[in-house]
Amino acid sequence: MCEITTYKISADLQKHYDPTKTTSLRNLFASKMKQRFVELQKVVKTSIVDNDCFGLKREKLALHQMVPASKEAFNFIRSSEKIEAFMVWLQQQVDKGILDVRVFQQVGGSIEGAWTNLYIYDSYKRGVLRAMTELKKAGFDIPENQLQISMNNPFHVDRVGLLFIRVYSDLKGITDAMDSQISRILAQGVADGDGPALIARKIISTINGDGADKLGITDTLGRFVSGQRRAVMLARTEIIRSFAEAQLQEFENWGILGVSAEAEWQTAQDDRVCPICEHMQGKIFTIEEARGKIPAHPHCRCCWLPYIKELEKYKK
């Protein structure tokens, strides 16, 4: 007998405050992201203030002839050379500390990748697992080792690889924009004859956005969102994207098992849900239509539920 059944969201699932259950992963990724920007601020301060890399503390120089080479590293005569050398150094710090490509352990071996891959992969795996849990709840028999098998599925490997690249290039875009902001602030500061402490404060503020108004940074750059804030927001948002994309890919992969699933929009259903997402709650999309819709905006917390029309006929 072929009974058409509508897949229902269980009551306890509806009550979930965080449908993806990735709050701690998002917090962890965001804090690891922030740490890297804070580290950058520290090396900027050490370089400019403690090490006087621009050689701006002239009277002090006379007292300390035997300074290590790293000090006054950018003490060129021409200001443009100072700035240029500083920017080269800064980019190296950003490359090492924020973009940071390393050997990364993945199922089936180790590959070279950005540090961010670790978090994206974790969220992706959770998305696949969540999709499987939903399938199990719907009465399908899911073998214990299915997650391992699924993660090795070429469609998943391909999909998660694209997410890795996306996050890395978005982060690179953020740091590139930050670099050019810093370069402008530094040029302005040097032209204005700012001392090292003030220049350092201005650059740090350009990185983290704190006190930008007071330091006149917004006068130079206009209204801006600091690199650190954008990167932290990226970290949180991309965890949600990775989770949602994993779910959709897994739903799509079910086609091989003869399960044709669509995707149903699931918000956190609490009072923090924004009007954009509130409006989407419970809407059904084909997998193709659903792609790229979640996150709907930065800090979105939505995910998908499988919508299986002809559920009964596949039940064991």
Query: Which residues of this chain interact with Zn ion, rule CB under 5 A?
Result: 277, 296, 300, 302
CA distance 184 to 226: 14
Smallest gap from Cβ 21 to Zn ion, in A, equals 15
Residue 271 makes CB contacts below 8 A (sequence gap 6+) with none
How distant, in Å, are the alpha carbons of 79, 109, 159, 271 from that of 127?
Answer: 51, 21, 12, 24
Contact criterion met (CB below 8 Å) for 294 and 237: no
The Cα diameter of the chain in Å comes to: 94
Nearer to Zn ion, 41 or 242 (CB): 242
Nearer to Zn ion, 56 or 239 (CB): 239
Smallest gap from Cβ 123 to Zn ion, in A, equals 15
Nearer to Zn ion, 114 or 277 (CB): 277
Nearer to Zn ion, 72 or 238 (CB): 238
- Sign of the Cα torsion 41, 42, 43, 45 reads positive
Smallest gap from Cβ 14 to Zn ion, in A, equals 15
Smallest gap from Cβ 261 to Zn ion, in A, equals 20
Nearer to Zn ion, 42 or 297 (CB): 297
Q: In this structure, which amino acid lies at residue 146?
A: Q
Which residues are bridge partners to 151 per DSSP? none
Residue 105 makes CB contacts below 8 A (sequence gap 6+) with none
Smallest gap from Cβ 235 to Zn ion, in A, equals 17
